[in-house]
Structure 1
Amino acid sequence: MRLVNWRRWLADDRTLTEQLRLQLGHVGSSVVPTLLLAPLLLWTLVNARNAAWLTAWCAAIVLIKLFYAWDAERTLRIDLATAHPHRVVVRQMVLNAIDAVAWGALAWVTLDDSSVAGSILVVAVLAGVAGSSMASLAPVLPVFIAFALFEFAVVGTKLWLLGNPAYQALGIAGVLYIATLMGQARSSARAARAAIDLRFENLGLIEQLHASAAEAQAARLEAEQASLAKSRFLAAASHDLRQPIHAQGLFLEVLARTRLTTTQYDALANARATWQASAEMLDTLLDFSRIEAGVVEPRLQPFQLQPLLNKIENELAPQADAKGIVYRSIDTEVVVQSDPALVALVLRNLVSNAIRYTRRGGVLVACRRRGGQAVLEVWDTGIGIDPSQHQAVFREFHQLGNAERDRRKGLGLGLAIAQGLARTLQQELTLSSRPGRGSVFRLSLPVAPLGTLARRPAPTPVDAQGFDVRVLVIDDDESVRTGMQQLLTAWGCQCDVADSIEEALTLARIHVPGAVISDYRLRGQRTGAEAIAALRAECGEALPALLITGDTAPQRLREARATGVPLLHKPVLPAQLHHGLQCVLHRVELDSNFALLENLPRTTSASL
């Protein structure tokens, strides 16, 4: 049989290599049985006539098996994939053909003068050797075929030449036996090949899985780096923008207290409106950063929803009127258990968003009670949202229909803030919408148990006009120091300003301050918290203090919150600064969840 014929029975090199490893791995297990069987046959079958030949046969079988085992071990140590596995198959066919001829020679050495029992033993042993070879050589089918054919050829020839019909019949039976073994070997070879192919497929799938996991990990790291870079950029940009806008607000407030002509008042009003728009955008970024930083802590309490709905309507209905759409809210008597300031901010963002994207029709705010939950609903007849965008609209900076990034349409943070606040409240914010048919946002809130609504204590009265106190201001920005000094002086304060902790301590030793207002980030990696701690060590732990920061980086917000000192965020409305100073001077708790206090107007023209 030519090489080209049996090669068709072989798999590709990779699979064939594994088949050879499997077949060669069985060789070692056949050494010990051969070393025991050959001497046993010699002892059993030896007689005066065959002693020399049988001894030679026994030695040959042992040597061939030992060489075969050594060659198999040597072959397994090399890289079969680079050793041309087809050549290894040829070598194995030759070695097993020699082994088969050696085993077949047992019939030539013993059958001429052995007893019936001896003949039966010889035939049984040769049949057993063929069967065991099928089990060990079947992974590489041509190797087993070579062994079986050569063994049968040698044994069958001897049986036929003996001339005994019984032996000749035995030879014919041997043909059937060998044919049966070849059929079993073929099935075993197919099973082995299928198992190897399946293992390679599994390895391929595992490699693909590892590659996909590596790509996903790389994409995740890239996304995290991009998000971190975005957060750092926004924090840096926000801080750098807040400094001059904060100073601008202070100067505008000082300017408003001077005598101006009508034209100058109009110009001042326009400047204030522009400043207000910039401040509101920065406040939106701040709210988002505070949610990301995890420093928003809900203060749960029972409260009626109706006053909150009235407040939102009074604030935002003029925007709806200006667009020619209807704003309506349905009265409710439900009392919920939540944080009124956070719920107000969620509702304000939802209503503002509804008004922004509604051109005709109107906006409806309602509350439905469902079991133990009160569901706040904001309906609109706006442009609607495609189902594919229902998740995307809650992502930061994602806006529909604002490819030109018109600043009048906001920053795309309203819904992201609303969802973040809902998670903070451990409640669910959902969306239902159809393009062209409008949208409805729903916020679930727990209903407060009956009888839990108590009258809120009246706020501690504070002086709503001026101050009679010496204030020490610490800020490393000269324009901010100047603006703060002029504004505080206009409020009746005596004001000292410093740009460092050391200068602040020097001034405090000359004139003991009655209050301290410090920027959080100072020069030399110092902080306002350090400045306040140093001044309290100098002037007493009861020294009232306020921190002001332009940082929006989550880590910085957490650090500032951890100081325990009341915190305001640049740009600070003069009304907020006035209220904050009142609170710390009169030991009244300042709500620091957001830069905007619940009952404080969002305008620089608030009565001071």
Structure 2
Amino acid sequence: MSTAISATPRLPPGSVRKALHAHAALSINWLTGCNWVTMMLMSLTISLMLPSQQNLAWQWATAGSAYTLIFLLVRHHNAAASYQVLERIYALSVCGFSLLWVAIPVLFFDPENFAFSMFMLTIFGGLAAASVPILSASLPLYWLWITPPFLAQISLYWLRGGGPYYWGIGFGMMILLISQLVFARNHHKSIIASIRLGLQNTLLVQQLEEKTALAVSANMAKTRFLAAASHDLRQPVYALSLFLDALASSDLNTRQVTMVQHASAANLAASEMLQTLLDFSRIEAGVLNPQQRRMDLMSILNKLGEEFGPQAYKKKLLYRTRSSDIWIESDPQLIALVLRNLVNNALRYTQSGGVLVAARRRQQHVMLQVWDTGIGIPIDKHQEIFREFHQLGNVERDHRKGLGMGLAIAEGLARSMGASIEVASRPGKGSVFSLVLPLQGMRKTERHANPDDQACVDTEPDCLLLQGIAVLVVDDDEAVRAGLHAVLQSWGCHVSLAEGMQDALAKTAEKLPDVLLTDYRLRGGVTGGDIIRAVRQAISHNTPDKKLVLPAIIVTGDTHPERLREAQGHAALLLHKPLAAGALKAALVQALASDASA
């Protein structure tokens, strides 16, 4: 199937003729009304200018009125007929109206009354001119309407008029008739061109709507594919990371430690790619809701320096952060995500020199800028780099250079905050990416701890907090269950493993868990939310004297937008696979702490 939209689509057969018929049907209404009014005017004028012909004039008007009424009744009776039948009715009616006007010069022409002859000339010329926009949609109707009365009057002027005046008037009427026919033909062509253009525009709009629907469908299919692929890939990657964490904490020799480190690095690269797909899916899902709070930009810049400084050092690059005392109202997590993508992108495409991260105030905005001395970007490519899966410097599709979605994700995150990303670059010299944020708050000269800042939880106290904790793990993947069992046991937890709903309820009956850790999408259409509700209900039934709300954590690899929205609606922490051991440990501590505070 062709996806191109033709600029001049081919119209269906007969569509122009049907449109002309619709135009003619509307024109017949105007013609009927104007014709009747003109007939009454002509009868009144004849009565005044030719008193001896008064009775004949009103008889002619009566006949014309009766014919008009008959035409209206016939048309009303055949209102539902095909347009071919209606065209014949219109032709017969116009022919009858034309014959009525032929009768005027035949019945009332008087060579001695030159004034009346000039009046007839005026009326006929007016009818011819006024009928062009009314009847020129159908040239045969216009010919039937105008030609017989004109030829009848011209013939009488030449045959019975006598004298040079009537010869001249007849010749003038012939020129007028020919000019009106030519004018009507040209107007007819204009109407056809306008109708054809209107029909083509309608077809173009229909094609555009169809292509838009196909594009939306393709985009939804892409989202479903990303969600399905991400979920299926996260399961083994998640299990591998758990086994590697468990293996790293055991006694290993030097060679084994090196191999585990290499395996962990490869697993981390795969996890980062999957996380990129997750971030992209979350942006499309619209589940990123900025949490505004007052924040110190320097704290974010320092954290970025701690994270990316060692990476720059390994590449023999200089990483610098310019100090800043700007405070703003925004979402620190989303800002950090955007800057992390920008800095990571800068380091990836910089081979010598360095990277500078700075915050600058510009009137009512704050610009968080990432400068690099990398390969640079041509000005005609500044928009392309924000497209998904697009990389300028990776034509060979080297997976070590990422998926080409970092800037697309950064732009989506910026939009969710009401911010924007600007880029300036010179090929071969470097680039500067600026996250432009509205400035809210004020510049401070003293640095104070932000009470909203959450310090990282030390791993050793975490282990002490998790000692003896009963954890119920629900997952339909055997490798994931085994990996979680190994990691949780190494932290001193009592672990119960369940594959589905029935196993989870049976394990709950044997031993009440302190924390529930469940996958989101399980076999048989069961979700993590179903597991949480069932287990909590079983606990409340077994211990009715205790008002206990079981802490729960949902771990999912499903990135489909609808799944993300549904998962966020449950009263549980939401984590995404693949999950590092440290993040899982922190989530367990947070879940237990929230339960204690409740």
Q: Which residue of 2 aligns with 1:103?
A: 105
Q: Which residue of 1 aligns with 2:495?
A: 495
Change (3 A) 1:36 1:444: closer
Matched residue type, 2:568: R
For 2:25 and 2:174, locate their aligned partners in 1 and report how far apart those are by CA, in whole Å: 18
> CA offsets per residue over residues 494-527 of structure 1, 9 Å max, x none?
1111112222122212211111111111222121
The answer as to whether partners of 1:61 and 1:99 remain within 8 angstroms in 2 is no
For 1:46 and 1:544, locate their aligned partners in 2 and report how far apart those are by CA, in whole Å: 107
Q: Which residue of 1 aligns with 2:578?
A: 571
> Which deviates more, 146-155 or 288-297?
146-155
For 2:590 and 2:34, locate their aligned partners in 1 and report how far apart those are by CA, in whole Å: 91
The DSSP-based 3-state class of the residue aligned with 2:463 is coil
Q: Which residue of 2 aligns with 1:383?
A: 375
Q: Which residue of 2 aligns with 1:164?
A: none
For 1:503 and 1:474, locate their aligned partners in 2 and report how far apart those are by CA, in whole Å: 8
The answer as to whether partners of 2:105 and 2:152 remain within 8 angstroms in 1 is no
Change (3 A) 1:255 1:325: closer
Change (3 A) 1:200 1:582: same
Sequence identity percentage: 35
Larger Rg: 1
For 1:373 and 1:464, locate their aligned partners in 2 and report how far apart those are by CA, in whole Å: 41
Change (3 A) 1:200 1:436: farther
The answer as to whether partners of 1:242 and 1:571 remain within 8 angstroms in 2 is yes
Matched, 1:128 2:119: yes
The answer as to whether partners of 2:549 and 2:595 remain within 8 angstroms in 1 is no
For 2:412 and 2:19, locate their aligned partners in 1 and report how far apart those are by CA, in whole Å: 56
> Which deviates more, 92-101 or 480-489?
92-101
For 1:501 and 1:15, locate their aligned partners in 2 and report how far apart those are by CA, in whole Å: 65
Quote how far apart the aligned CAs of 1:487 are: 1.8
Q: Which residue of 2 aligns with 1:365?
A: 357
Q: Which residue of 2 aligns with 1:556?
A: 563
Quote how far apart the aligned CAs of 1:239 are: 0.3
For 2:281 and 2:312, locate their aligned partners in 1 and report how far apart those are by CA, in whole Å: 29
Matched residue type, 1:151: Q
> Which deviates more, 131-140 or 480-489?
131-140
The DSSP-based 3-state class of the residue aligned with 1:295 is coil
Matched, 1:154 2:147: no
Matched residue type, 1:449: M
For 2:529 and 2:252, locate their aligned partners in 1 and report how far apart those are by CA, in whole Å: 40
Q: Which residues in structure 2 correspond to 1:193-342 (within 5 Å)? A: 193-342=185-334
The answer as to whether partners of 1:329 and 1:365 remain within 8 angstroms in 2 is yes
Quote how far apart the aligned CAs of 1:543 are: 1.8
Quote how far apart the aligned CAs of 1:372 are: 3.5
Quote how far apart the aligned CAs of 1:183 are: 5.3
Quote how far apart the aligned CAs of 1:60 are: 9.2
Matched, 1:585 2:579: no
Q: Which residue of 1 aligns with 2:345?
A: 353
Q: Which residue of 2 aligns with 1:606?
A: none
Quote how far apart the aligned CAs of 1:36 are: 5.2
The DSSP-based 3-state class of the residue aligned with 1:465 is helix
Q: Which residue of 2 aligns with 1:449?
A: 442
The DSSP-based 3-state class of the residue aligned with 2:409 is helix
Quote how far apart the aligned CAs of 1:417 are: 1.4
The answer as to whether partners of 1:419 and 1:429 remain within 8 angstroms in 2 is yes
Q: Which residue of 2 aligns with 1:519?
A: 519
The DSSP-based 3-state class of the residue aligned with 1:298 is coil
Quote how far apart the aligned CAs of 1:134 are: 2.7
Quote how far apart the aligned CAs of 1:321 are: 3.3
The DSSP-based 3-state class of the residue aligned with 1:463 is helix
Q: 2:389 aligns with which of 381, 386, 397?
A: 397
The DSSP-based 3-state class of the residue aligned with 2:250 is coil
Matched residue type, 2:492: G
For 1:255 and 1:450, locate their aligned partners in 2 and report how far apart those are by CA, in whole Å: 49
Change (3 A) 1:293 1:126: same
> CA offsets per residue over residues 79-114 of structure 1, 9 Å max, x none?
9999999xx79x989996896477335458xx8xxx
For 1:534 and 1:83, locate their aligned partners in 2 and report how far apart those are by CA, in whole Å: 72
For 1:473 and 1:149, locate their aligned partners in 2 and report how far apart those are by CA, in whole Å: 101
For 2:53 and 2:491, locate their aligned partners in 1 and report how far apart those are by CA, in whole Å: 128
Change (3 A) 1:74 1:440: same
For 2:479 and 2:188, locate their aligned partners in 1 and report how far apart those are by CA, in whole Å: 78
For 1:97 and 1:374, locate their aligned partners in 2 and report how far apart those are by CA, in whole Å: 83
Q: Which residue of 2 aligns with 1:465?
A: 463
For 1:486 and 1:125, locate their aligned partners in 2 and report how far apart those are by CA, in whole Å: 115
Quote how far apart the aligned CAs of 1:415 are: 0.6
Change (3 A) 1:69 1:543: closer
What runs of 5+ residues in structure 1 fail to find an aligned partner?
Answer: 1-11, 48-53, 112-118, 161-167, 591-608
- Give TM-score scaled by structure 1 length: 0.77
Quote how far apart the aligned CAs of 1:27 are: 6.4
For 2:197 and 2:596, locate their aligned partners in 1 and report how far apart those are by CA, in whole Å: 61
Change (3 A) 1:146 1:175: farther
Matched, 1:546 2:539: no
Q: Which residue of 1 aligns with 2:139?
A: none
> CA offsets per residue over residues 518-571 of structure 1, 9 Å max, x none?
111122212112211222223253322211111111111111111131111111
The DSSP-based 3-state class of the residue aligned with 1:318 is helix
Change (3 A) 1:347 1:80: closer
Aligned length: 548
Change (3 A) 1:22 1:552: closer
The answer as to whether partners of 1:145 and 1:182 remain within 8 angstroms in 2 is no
Change (3 A) 1:60 1:205: closer
Change (3 A) 1:395 1:36: same
- Give TM-score scaled by structure 2 length: 0.79
Change (3 A) 1:127 1:541: farther
Matched residue type, 1:537: Q
Quote how far apart the aligned CAs of 1:388 are: 2.6
Change (3 A) 1:453 1:210: farther
> CA offsets per residue over residues 206-238 of structure 1, 9 Å max, x none?
223222222222222221111111111110011
For 2:40 and 2:375, locate their aligned partners in 1 and report how far apart those are by CA, in whole Å: 86
The DSSP-based 3-state class of the residue aligned with 1:492 is coil
For 1:46 and 1:522, locate their aligned partners in 2 and report how far apart those are by CA, in whole Å: 100
For 1:29 and 1:517, locate their aligned partners in 2 and report how far apart those are by CA, in whole Å: 84
